[in-house]
Amino acid sequence: MGYFDHINTIQYEGAQSLNPFAFKHYNPEEKIGGKTMEEQLRFSIAYWHTFTGDGSDPFGAGNMQRPWDHLQGMDLAKARVEAAFELFEKLNVPYFCFHDVDIAPEGHSLAETNRNLDEIVSMIKDYMKSSNTKLLWNTANMFKHPRFVHGAASSNNADVYAYAGAKVKKGLELAKELGAENYVFWGGREGYETLLNTDLKLELDNLGRFYHMALDYAKEIGYNGQFLIEPKPQEPTKHQYDFDVASGMAFLQKYDLSDHFKFNIEANHATLAGHTFEHELRYARINGMLGSVDANQGDTLLGWDTDEFPTDLYSTTLAMYEILKNGGLHQGGLNFDAKVRRGSFEADDLLHAHIAGMDSFAVGLKVAHQLIEDGVLDDFVSERYSSFTQGIGQQVVEGKADFHVLEKHALELGTIENHSGRQEWLKAVINQYLLNVNADGGLK
Ligand code: XUL
Ligand code: CO
């Protein structure tokens, strides 16, 4: 008896299908840009939202109806593993992600917590032998337990710092054991509430030291997964240290860590930082730091991390544009760090939500691929910067200009001519592609 017996494996039925339990655009076998959609999109399910989350919010108790919720402790943890692998198969999703506390309950001591983890990890490992689903990344939850009230690797309390080290040590061991392709560090409570009680320099230095210890330990045990930092500007702390990609890069450079880390970019974290999703992806991409993606979306009317399933096709298109320009996600993936709304409390909603997210990114992939094939934006952008391919512009780019050269050029200029950036036209073209690509494969 399974948890989702009433639902067959989700199949691709095409854009006209009215079957709610079918993909309309995600056709895993279909090739786009020389790779199958499955290879391009590398979807992943977030264990915490889908199997552990109960729908509770600051105003109400958990209300999700999950067929495994009558169980408790290790029995509940085991039931969740069974449910997870069943759902992975039903959705044909190639990856999943988890925090340590998502998969196994914390014990009364660190040693007991680790024993619980070992038991569940060996169960997961067994399931993985006969499943197509692999581990995209795991991470340590260092924000939920009260001991992390002042942070973990940036805590003022050295005992907490040590405890955090022990958790990441275990996390790296699990990553190796389960073949995780990446290991994620999301800041959790690494940040501060007020400078009045904070030694900012010591906290940042300690964080840098902590990442070096993690790298050293990964090397020691032969774990070769990619290390990823997941930036977020605020929540839970008022000021998170890994604010956005740009500040994360400065941090990594300062502490001599840039060669060993990339970024896991989350759409809703980007918007909380006052950026678009595509801004963060672009910033990471042009610096060779785009590692993986937490695929969700925020709400423009709300100022917090709503972690909605991604359904905005404009956003998935511009995100896939960056990802394709990155040559794909490589060992990263599109992880649905997203939760169903509190009102969507039935277990079937988990399927509807993932189908919606997968189809939305499949559309984004197709449209972005066609935009790139047709050179729509590339041609416009190259033309817009063409002044840097000749004359004074070329001298600048080749490093042959100085202020004397610039001044000489400027003094000789007559009226300077600028051209329109054509933003509205470009947006209209993207709309045309969005509406037409699925209909006839492109624009004539
Ligand atoms: C929190 C968040 C985390 C990370 C993993 O906003 O995104 O779930 O993805 O710790
Ligand atoms: Co995330």
Q: Mean per-residue pLDDT for 361-381? A: 97
Query: Distance between CA atoms of 265 and 277, rounded to whole angstroms?
Result: 8
- 441 pLDDT higher than 80: no
Q: Summarize pLDDT for 254-267 with one digit per residue, the tens.
A: 999 999 999 999 99
Q: Summarize pLDDT for 154-164 with one digit per residue, the tens.
A: 999 999 999 99
Task: Say if residues 306 and 346 touch (Cβ distance below 8 Å).
Answer: no
Query: Distance between CA atoms of 168 and 315, rounded to whole angstroms?
Result: 33
- Pick the catalytic residue from 99, 269, 279, 354: 99
Query: Ligand 1: which atom is nearest the Cα of residue 235?
Result: 6
pLDDT of residue 442: 47
Q: Summarize pLDDT for 9-61 with one digit per residue, the tens.
A: 999 999 999 999 999 999 999 999 999 999 999 999 999 999 999 999 999 99
**Confidence bin at 438 (pLDDT 50/70/90):** low
pLDDT of residue 227: 98
Q: Summarize pLDDT for 60-110 with one digit per residue, the tens.
A: 999 999 999 999 999 999 999 999 999 999 999 999 999 999 999 999 999
Burial class of 96 by CB neighbour count within 10 A (0 to 12, 13 to 18, 19+): buried
Q: Report CA(75)–ligand 1 centroid distance (Å).
A: 25
DSSP notation for 244-302: SHHHHHHHHHHTT-GGGEEEEEEHHHHHHTTS-HHHHHHHHHHTT-EEEEE--B--TT-
**Cβ < 6 Å from ligand 1: which residues?**
99, 139, 184, 186, 230, 232, 266, 294, 305, 337
For residue 97, the cross-strand partners are 46, 137
User: What count of residues does the chain have?
Assistant: 444
Instruction: Return mean pLDDT, the chain.
Output: 97
Choose the residue to mutate in 266, 269, 296, 306 for probing ligand 1, maximizing ligand atoms within 8 Å of C-beta: 266
Choose the residue to mutate in 51, 97, 103, 139 for probing ligand 1, maximizing ligand atoms within 8 Å of C-beta: 139
Query: Ligand 1: which atom is nearest the Cα of residue 269?
Result: 6
Q: Summarize pLDDT for 327-356 with one digit per residue, the tens.
A: 999 999 999 999 999 999 999 999 999 999
pTM of the model: 0.97
Query: Ligand 1: which atom is nearest the Cα of residue 305?
Result: 6
For residue 99, indicate whether it is catalytic. Answer: yes
Q: Summarize pLDDT for 391-433 with one digit per residue, the tens.
A: 999 999 999 999 999 999 999 999 999 999 999 999 999 999 9
